[in-house]
Amino acid sequence: MLSTLMVVLPIFALILAGWLVRRIGLLSAHATTELNRFVVYLALPALLFDVMAHTRWDEIWQPGFIAVFGLSSLAVFGLTVLIRRRRLPLADAAIDGLNAGYPNTGFMGFPLALVALGRDALAPTTIAAIMTVCVVFAAAIVLIEIGLQGRARGGTLVRKVAGSLVRNPLLVAPALGALVPAAGLAVPLPAETFLKLLGGAASPCALVGLGLFLAQGRARPEGDRSAAALLVGLKLAVHPVLAWLLARFVFDLPPLLLHDAVLMAALPTGTGPFMLAEHYRREAAVTARVVLVSTILSVLTVSGYLAAIR
């Protein structure tokens, strides 16, 4: 449990920093939106481009692991969208789907995998991070755009959604980054330094922004609690159990890949759903609560799984 707590502690510290600067008045109520715009339009695209530009697919080609993690994440995402669609518009249901199927692989996955499973687990962890930010995240953006263009029909809907997607930096950046290794090119050193510096700000700024949002002290409807409980349960219980079932009984992964897939699926909700909720001006109260509560509870659930496999 101590190793898990040490990994989670910086996340709490960044959220607390955002909460404090808002409560004492150093940053205004507009800071959450502006900080999130910086993440969405600059920091996160730089990070996604950098990740894809340095990905050598021949080194991380693990089809079984890709199938287990991808199918479990997308299945939980899709199931959640179907459940929440009964009460919410498609755009909001897609964000809730991300709440349940978007593990914090980038910020927590790598240190936890290194501590628990060793350096051999870093390659599959990289796969999980790429699939989380490029596949699951992209699926949510597509559904959000479809939901926001809901009044359009047929060809008009396709054109509007496609136009929105090709202008979205969170989709354009990784697509352009993937062209770099595909063309046999390398990122020049000054550009790489720029990407590292800018991309490194994505997670810290998103977590500070979450703290700013939590400090606003808005009233929360009673239904928010039950919705957050459902999403936290899907994230911390259903997602890892489904990953274990697929890894054990369908794809028969070796122990290292099996445990890494389950560990990545068991991680709490990352900041991606909160960034999208703020970016698209959707209600972010449930998302903020899911990120915070799932992170707190993951100290117990992840530690319990690590104790079991040892």
Quick: pLDDT tens for 197-236: 998 888 788 888 878 887 876 556 656 788 999 999 999 9
Residue 87 CA: distances (Å) to CA of 83, 203, 231, 245: 8, 31, 14, 30
Q: How confident is the model at residue 40 (pLDDT cuts 50, 70, 90)?
A: confident
For 139-161, how does the pLDDT look when each residue is reduced to its tens digit (9 = 90+)? 898 899 888 876 656 566 667 66
| Beta bridge partner(s), residue 128 | none
Q: What is the pLDDT of residue 223?
A: 62
Three-state SS for 269? strand
State how far the Cα of 215 lies from the Cα of 204, in Å rounded to an integer. Answer: 17
Domains, the chain, ordered by start: 2-309 (1.20.1530.20)
**Could you give the 3-state DSSP secondary structure of residue 283?**
coil
For the stretch 283-307, pLDDT in tens is 888 988 898 899 889 888 888 888 8
